[in-house]
Structure formats: structure tokens, C-alpha cells
Amino acid sequence: MNKPKVFLLPDLGEGLTEAELVSWLVAVGDEIRVDQPIAEVETAKSMVEVPSPYAGTVAVLHGEPGQTLDVGKPLISVTPVGAAPGAALPASAGRAVDSPDTVVDSPAAVAAEVYREEEKAGSGNVLIGYGTPGGHGVARRSRAPRRGAVQVPAAEKAADDLVLMRTRVPGKLGAVISPLVRRMARDHGVDLGELQGSGASGLIMRRDVEAAIKPSVVERPEAPAGTEAPAPAGGTDARTGLGIAGRTPVRGVRKAVAANMARSRSEIPEATVWVDVDATALLEMRAALKRSDPHNTPGLLAFIARFVTAGLKKYPELNTRIVTTEDAAGGASKEIVAFDGVNLGFAAQTDRGLMVPSVRNADKLSARELDAEIRRLTAVVREGKATPAELGSGTFTLNNYGVFGVDGSAAIINHPEVGILGVGRIIDKPWVVHGELAVRKVTELTLTFDHRVCDGGTAGGFLRYVADAIENPGSVLADL
């Protein structure tokens, strides 16, 4: 009799440990095919449709819309095509040991068997950070149980092993960790890519993460007497005496943004420089291009992005990243990693919060090509369909906060980058031109940079380069 196949929530990329189930795209009893989308889930990075690696009848949906599911936990159970009706897996899945001679599969054993079958065959479907190897895995053999042996603990261990194998750290196959360990690391701002696991084959254990966390964080003292307890929704706030209108859980994108911004502020010794810029010439140049080609004229942000990528080539210190490495003696040291190319991130406001997609190899694109890619990525993130790679691969960020009607902002660096350039609104201001007072189109550029990678001279040089390019766009573009 064919057993139901239990599909576990895969790692959807960037080492994410959980996802919120937004909606089911199938129902119990539906016939589904391989690679058919079965659920829509929201991670801290994007909205993703999860396809099924199995064909058959939907037996169980393991979760309700709005529920947060851990990577490696059951998502859906599918009865294979041609299976007997009795093969359907009940919602309270799980069978016990009937006798010393009979070992019946638990959900953990079913899940482990599913993984073994995927290792041998593979569905051919691949998501970011998830995919079956299509025959490259090693099949495991199961020995017949000894008479009188209780096999449930072994099945549970197999499920634990499965969870570990489903939650690899991208780029570090040996550093396999459980969702609980990964969540602990994320909550405390520990970079798992910088840890050396103490377990077998470099396995990162809970003790490794705890050792990287400050004792004051790991050993949380009890709240002192008089600490305010959270009031229930609809109740009264103890501190202000005001009624509570509602509570909004910090999760998904907002949770990821909050953690990243807090980490940036705590780790990066940042400094900010700014300058007012006369953008009249750039606006006039774009207006002339629009008159000659009204349907193929890049936006102002695309021109500024072109100037930024050129400036980063001239001042490459701002297109770097600081990483921690381990020397031969086991000590930790930091190094500055420079990149051969620029992935330019740009801030985009969406209904799900502030997103920062990045234009890959932006230094190789023209202003028109940058404009097209910026528009494409903006549409993708607003639809919630951006991939983790599109949202997590930037090397420098451009932030146009002028669209909100503000002149300047000391922006927070998008960790682990080392710089962010902000552009304020363009407004009419009195400006001295050739000794005469005139009304010009003026904007403010603000550069926040990591003082560990460069000093004010480099930051000021980069900022002045971009400002000069905006004030004299024709001459600069001629040299690009």
C-alpha cells in the first residue's frame, strides 16, 4: 500500500528559518500534479508560491492561513496516484508500535523516507535554496528491526537529521544547523557564516551560537519588580492610561527590517556627510531628451544611479564589505572584501514595508538599461514576488527619499553594506550663478558611510563626484 508522501517546508533561501502561510492554493481531496503551486507563503524577504514535488491526492494540509511554519516541518501530505483510500494520512498523523514484532511508521519515519526517495529520484523542481538532487544523493538502507526493539526514537532521530539536512547554510555545506539554532542566531544578530561549528563535520551547535552571544544576552535576568506587563488588546495601557486600539505583530518583512537596522546601528561606526547640489542642468538635459524621445527617456533616478556606479569605480572603498575570518591559530580577525562590480540597491516603498532590491552588475548598464531594471524590480517587489537573491545581493544602496517630500536624512546603512546615498526632493532655491543670484533646481545629497572602510576624504570625494556629475551631466556622461 502506497504511503502518503509528506512534503516539508523547504528552505526558501538566505538561510530563512520560517515562513508565514498566507493561503492554500489547493484543498484536501484535490488532485495535484508535480510542480503545481500548492501554497503561498511570505518570508522575511518575499512572497513565494511553493510547488509540490509530488503528484496525487491532497491528504492533509499542515497549517492554517496566518500561521508561521518552521522550515523542515510538514507542509502538505499527498497520497500518490493509485494508492488505496486507506493510505490517506489523517490530520493527527502518527502510528505507534503495536507489538515487539511490528514497527509501524511514525510521521517522522514517513518524512525521513520521503527525503530518501527525493535523494534517489528528485522531482526536478528547484526553488531558491531548495531542490532535489536528481540522482546525486546516496540511498540509505534500512536494516530490519530486531525483535523486541522499540523503533520510534530512531524514527524521531531520522526526522531530526532530515530537518538538519533541509536547513543548510548557503555556501557552507558542512555548517548544517537546526531551525532553533538558526532562529537563536538571527534573534541575537549572530552571523552564522562567521561561526566555526564544534559538531561533527563542522556542524554548528546551539553552544556555538551561545558562545558568540554576550553573556548578558544569553543569561537574561528576570524582570525586576514593577516591570510593566503587556496589556491585552482592547485593554488599557498601564503606563499612559490610554485604551489600546490594536496590536500588530512584528513579523515578516517588518521583522527582518527591524533586525537588520538594529544590527547596523549596533555594529557600524557610521558617519554622515551632505552637500546641496544644483540639479538644473540635469533636469534640462532630461527634458530635452524627453522632447526628442518621449517614450524612452530614463528617469532622474536612473541618471543618478549611473553617476553613483561611476563614482564607486573611482572610490571603490565604498563598494566593499567587512567580514570576520579565522586565522591559523584559531583567532578571529576582520578584513575588507572588495567586489569586482557593483550591485546597486535602491529603496522601494511597498505595502509590505521598505524593500531594497538590487540591480546586478549595475556598473555595466547604461542609464536607459538602469531605468528599465529599476522599473522592473520596483514592480516585482510591490507585487511581493522578489526573490531573496534580488533582495539580498546589493553592495551599495541609493535611497530617493525626496519622493516623500523631505530634503535630507541620516539614513541607516543596509547591513552588511558600508554606504548609502540619499537624494532629497528637488525644489526651487536661490543660488549664485556666475556671481549673480538666480532661482535654481536644488537637491541635497546625503552619504552615510562605515568609517571602518574609509575616512572623510574618500567619502567626501565620492559625494563631490556624484554632485559634480549632477551639475554637469553632459560632460560626465560623455566620459562614461
Q: Which residues are catalytic?
A: 451
- State how far the Cα of 335 lies from the Cα of 322, in Å rounded to an integer: 6
With contact defined as beta carbons under 8 Å apart, do 153 and 161 qualify?
Answer: no
Q: Angle at which helices 280-292 and 456-471 pack, to 10 degrees?
A: 40
Going by C-alpha positions, the residue among 156, 180, 50 that lies closest to residue 107 is 156
Question: For the chain, percent helix, then strand, then coil, each to nearest 5?
Answer: 30, 25, 40
- State how far the Cα of 87 lies from the Cα of 83, in Å rounded to an integer: 6
Alpha carbon of 255 to those of 23, 60, 212, 239: distances in Å?
20, 30, 22, 25
Query: Largest Cα–Cα distance in the chain?
Result: 100
- State how far the Cα of 274 lies from the Cα of 285, in Å rounded to an integer: 24
With contact defined as beta carbons under 8 Å apart, do 166 and 119 qualify?
Answer: no
Cell numbers placing 227: 516591570
Going by C-alpha positions, the residue among 199, 146, 159, 152 that lies closest to residue 175 is 199
Going by C-alpha positions, the residue among 335, 336, 337 that lies closest to residue 325 is 335
Q: Quick count: other Cβ atoms within 10 Å of Cβ 356?
A: 23
Cell numbers placing 424: 532629497
- State how far the Cα of 396 lies from the Cα of 398, in Å rounded to an integer: 7
